[in-house]
Amino acid sequence: MKKLPKGLRITIECVLIVIIGGIATNLVDRIPTEPKVKNIIYLIGDGMGLSHITSAQIMQDYEPLNMERAEYVGLCKTYSSNSLVTDSAAAGTALSTGYKTKNGMIGMTPDSVAHPSIREKAELAGLATGIIATYPVTNATPAAFVGHVPHRNMEDEIATYYISNEVDVVIGGGSRRFDQRADSVNLFNTLRDKGYTIAFNMDDIKDVTSGKVMTLLNDDSMPTIEHGRDVNFLADATTKALEILTNNSRKNKKEGFFLMVEGSQIDGWAHKHNLSGMIEEIKDLDAAAKVAFDYADKHPGTLVVITADHETGGLTIVNSNRKFDITDHKVDFQWSTGGHTGGMVPIFAYGTGAEHFTGVFENTDLPRIMCRLLGLNED
Ligand code: MG
Ligand code: ZN
C-alpha cells in the first residue's frame, strides 16, 4: 500500500482519535451510572436446601415461587471451622461476620475474638437496621447479627446485646430472655428508657411508622404455621420493618438500611421430617421475598439476597408409585438424617448489585461482598 504523506497521516490519526474518543465518551455516557447499594434485605431460610425448595415447587405443581424472580443465583458452601456439617451458630456467624467459626459459637472466631456483623457495621455507619425471626431473637441465627458469645445457649447474655446495640426494628419470639431472666433484670424497661416502643402483638405497632421498635410475639419460639402462626407473618413483618427502616433511614446521618429476615422454622420441621410443615415455613419466607423484591423494584439501590445457613434432613426426592398422604405427585420425599448435612445451599439475588452473587461462594463471602457494596469495611 502506498505510504501516505506524513502530514496527512497525522491528520487522519487525529481525526480517528477524535472520532473514537467521541464514541467512547458517548458509550460511557450511555452506561447508566450504577446506583450504589443503599439498602440490603438479607433473607435466610434456616435449613433450606435445594430439595426443600424443590418440594415447595412440586406441591404447587411447579408454579414458580417468588424466589424464582431472582435475577442471579449462586451456590454457597456451608462448612464451619471444625465441622463439615455446620450448625446455625457457626453458619450464622459466617453469614453475618464473614468469619468461619466452631459450631456453637456466635459472632466470634474459635480464638474467642469477637468480629462485628454486617448489621453492627451498618449501625455504626449510621444506617438503620432490623432483625426479624420466628424463633427467639436470641436464637443462633438472629444472635449472630447482634451478639458475641462463646456458646449459642447463652441466650440471657445474647439478649443484653439488644441493649448495647440499637437495632431499629426487632420482630420475633423470645420475650422471656428479656423479662424472665436469671438476673431478674427487666430489659424491656431498659429498652423503653432508650426510647423503644415495646409491643407483644403486631396490631400494637400497626400505627408505628418510625422510631425504635421491639415486638416480641411469644415467650419462646413463635408457633409454626401448622400450629397457628399467620400464614403471612414474615411478609407482614417485613412490610412493617421496611416502612419503619425507610422512615428512620431518612433521618439518619447515612441514608440506607440493613434488614435480616429469618425463616427460622424450616429447620425445625426438617429435623422432624415433617414435609408439609416445612413447606409452609418456606412459603412464608417466600412471601417475604416477594415483599423484598417489590420493594427493590420501587427503590433503586436495594439489594435482596436469599440463602440458607445449611441443609437439614438430607432430603431427597425419589420416584415412587405410592400415593402419599399429602400428595399424589408420584414422588417420595426421603430424609437421610435427623440432623444437618454438608451440602451447598442456593443463593438468590435481586436488585442493585445482585450480579455479584452469581458463582460458587464460601458462606463467609456473602457479608463481605455486601459490606463492600454498602461501602463498609469487610473485615
Ligand atoms: Mg436459625
Ligand atoms: Zn437445625
Task: Please report, for the chain, the start and end positions of each structural domain, with discontinuous segments joined by +.
Answer: 37-374
Ligand with an atom nearest the CA of residue 89:
1
Tell me the mean pLDDT in the region 123-140. 97
Beta pairing class for 311-312 and 340-341: antiparallel
Ligand with an atom nearest the CA of residue 90:
1
46 Cα: distance to centroid of ligand 2 (angstroms) = 7
Topology of domain 37-374 in CATH is Alkaline Phosphatase, subunit A (3.40.720)
Place of cell 464451619: 80
Q: Closest Cα partner for 244 from 216, 206, 218? A: 206
Query: pLDDT tens-digit profile of 296-355?
Result: 999 999 999 999 999 999 999 998 766 555 556 678 899 999 999 999 999 999 999 999
Ligand with an atom nearest the CA of residue 135:
1
281 Cα: distance to centroid of ligand 1 (angstroms) = 12
CA distance linking residue 347 with residue 361, whole number of Å: 9
Percentage of the chain modeled with pLDDT above 90: 83
pTM: 0.90
Strands in the chain per DSSP E:
39-45, 72-77, 128-136, 169-173, 197-199, 213-216, 257-263, 302-308, 311-312, 316-319, 331-334, 340-341, 345-351, 359-362
Query: pLDDT tens-digit profile of 94-119?
Result: 999 999 999 999 999 999 999 999 99
16 Cα: distance to centroid of ligand 1 (angstroms) = 61
Neighbours of ion ligand 1 (CB under 5 A): 46, 88, 141, 264
Q: Which amino acid is at 19?
A: I
Selected residue with higher pLDDT from 94 and 34: 94
pLDDT tier at 25 (50, 70, 90 boundaries)? very low
44 Cα: distance to centroid of ligand 1 (angstroms) = 8
87 Cα: distance to centroid of ligand 2 (angstroms) = 7
36 Cα: distance to centroid of ligand 2 (angstroms) = 35
**Angle value at C-alpha 76, between 338 and 255, nearest 5 degrees:** 115
Contact predicate 96/117, CB 8 Å = yes
